[in-house]
Amino acid sequence: MQDEAIRLGLWENLGQFSLLVLINVFVGMMVGLERTVVPLIGEKEFGLASKTAIVSFIVSFGVVKAFCNLFAARISETWGRKKVLVLGWLIGLPVPFIIIWADRWIWFDVANVLLGVNQALCWSMTVIMKVDLVGPKRRGLALGLNEFAGYLAVGFTAWITGYIASVYSLRPQPFYLGIGVGLAGLIFSLFFAQETRGHALLEARLHPSQSPSLATAANPSRGKPSTREIFALASWKHQALLACSQAGLVNNLNDGMSWGIYPLFFASYGLGVAPIGVIKAVYPATWGILQLVTGPLSDRWGRKWLIAGGMAVQAVGIWLTVLVPDYAWWIVGAALHGLGTAMVYPTLLAAISDVAHPEWRATAMGAYRFWRDLGYAIGALLSGIIADLLGMPIAIHVIAALTFLSGLVVAVRMYETHPAKG
């Protein structure tokens, strides 16, 4: 595709952008299949008493997704975005079948290895492709729409699988939905999605300069930095990227705790699977819907204080959940947790996009997403171990405290990355 045929902007690429929103609905539904039901399967069907053993499926998911984020982002700059997207769906197709037929808990870990690859490849590509299409002016809006679609789908699927399980059983009925979702995602990605790498290359030519501090650190005069150099920038060398990476890690650390521990915590108070599904749906649904507001708001207000404030709001929601063990307050806590995450999630991605050069932005986002999604594994493992040793309430308190401290790090260490607000 020639430059004259490529146009940057949301309205200029509305058809493809809308298709990618739909595809991310399917991506979100795949991970939403497990939010309510799988921890309860571990406890009730397999008789697992150890919380650490139960959350092992989240650990395998998080570790694999983290490493595959790096792989997916980098190869998308040579293979192209669409091929990576299609590959992700092919790898994700067996997941619901494995869960349906699993006769040992180890198969849930296997399924989540494949799910981690699926989520890394597919969700990474829907993010990167949308950023490619819209150009530099509407990143917050684009990422807000992407995450809105994905996490609203997570919330809906968490609710509907809980409802189906309450009417039928924990398996196999809730996972029949996943078979249709995987096929739909593959068909739309293979036959209707278009390659967007040319849009990123056009943006690189139209907007050759980026953050001065990052330009110095990456030594762009030597050409495109290596994957190792970009990873070092995102992990410890660049002040804003370091703040974003640690906030992303802690954000998903508390999500990993929520995924694995909350269903067991609520069930310990005698709550049934259907009302647990409602609570588990409120958090990602609030998170998803409010990103329609917080994504564009970060384009207007800037990135730093939405991120710092969002981490604090998450901490309040988590503390409320453990301090007031009542169903109505659990709903409020889930909503606050979702609000805080909505403030943080698209804003962190937009901040990475602000700083990184378009030619290697995908790799920078992959490095950030490595640390962010490693948080799933760390949060699930940490909360599982603490829950086994000291009880689930203490585990939840520790995760809330870490979330609050992460917001303080952003407030102290991060500078404003938005070009018009810094």
Give domain status of residue 103, yes or no: yes
Report which of 275, 255, 257, 256 is spatially closest to residue 267, judged by C-alpha positions: 275
Residue 418 corresponds to which tokens in the numbers above? 């938005």
Q: What pLDDT shows up at residue 129?
A: 92
Residue 367 corresponds to which tokens in the numbers above? 């490095």
Give domain status of residue 16, yes or no: yes
Give domain status of residue 217, yes or no: yes
Instruction: Please state, in angstroms and rounded to a whole number, the distance separating the CA atoms of residues 161 and 336.
Output: 23
Give me the phi and psi of 335, to 5 degrees please.
Answer: -65, -40
Give domain status of residue 393, yes or no: yes
Instruction: Please state, in angstroms and rounded to a whole number, the distance separating the CA atoms of residues 312 and 317.
Output: 9
Buried residues in 309-339 as b, exposed as e (16+ CB within 10 A): bbbbbbbbbbbbbbeeeeeeebbebbbbbbb
Q: What pLDDT shows up at residue 223?
A: 57
Q: What pLDDT shows up at residue 366?
A: 83
11, 136 Cβ separation under 8 angstroms? no
pLDDT in tens, the chain (422 residues): 445 578 888 888 999 999 999 999 999 999 999 888 999 999 889 988 888 888 888 899 999 999 998 888 778 888 999 999 999 999 999 999 999 999 999 999 999 999 999 999 999 899 889 989 987 777 777 877 888 888 889 889 999 999 999 999 999 999 999 999 999 999 999 999 999 988 888 877 776 554 444 444 444 445 567 778 888 887 888 888 899 999 999 999 999 999 899 999 999 999 999 999 999 889 988 988 898 888 888 888 889 999 999 999 999 999 999 999 999 999 999 999 999 999 998 899 889 888 887 777 778 888 898 999 999 999 999 999 999 999 999 999 999 999 999 999 999 999 888 776 65
Residue 391 makes CB contacts below 8 A (sequence gap 6+) with none
Instruction: Please state, in angstroms and rounded to a whole number, the distance separating the CA atoms of residues 258 and 222.
Output: 44
Instruction: Please state, in angstroms and rounded to a whole number, the distance separating the CA atoms of residues 298 and 176.
Output: 38
Residue 187 makes CB contacts below 8 A (sequence gap 6+) with none
Give domain status of residue 422, yes or no: no
Give domain status of residue 37, yes or no: yes
Instruction: Please state, in angstroms and rounded to a whole number, the distance separating the CA atoms of residues 337 and 259.
Output: 13
Question: Residue 344 sits in which domain range?
Answer: 8-192+209-413
Alpha-carbon Rg for the chain in angstroms: 20
Residue 199 corresponds to which tokens in the numbers above? 């849009």
Give domain status of residue 246, yes or no: yes
Instruction: Please state, in angstroms and rounded to a whole number, the distance separating the CA atoms of residues 49 and 300.
Output: 49
> Three-class SS string for 223-247?
CCCCHHHHHHHHHHHCHHHHHHHHH
Residue 206 corresponds to which tokens in the numbers above? 């139209």
> Could you give the number of structural domains in the chain?
1
395, 387 Cβ separation under 8 angstroms? yes
**Location of structure tokens 């009302």:** 275
Q: What pLDDT shows up at residue 163?
A: 94
pTM reported for the whole predicted model: 0.81
CATH number at residue 360: 1.20.1250.20
Q: What is the DSSP string of 322-358?
A: HHS--HHHHHHHHHHHHHHHHHHHHHHHHHHHHHS-T
355, 211 Cβ separation under 8 angstroms? yes
Give domain status of residue 32, yes or no: yes
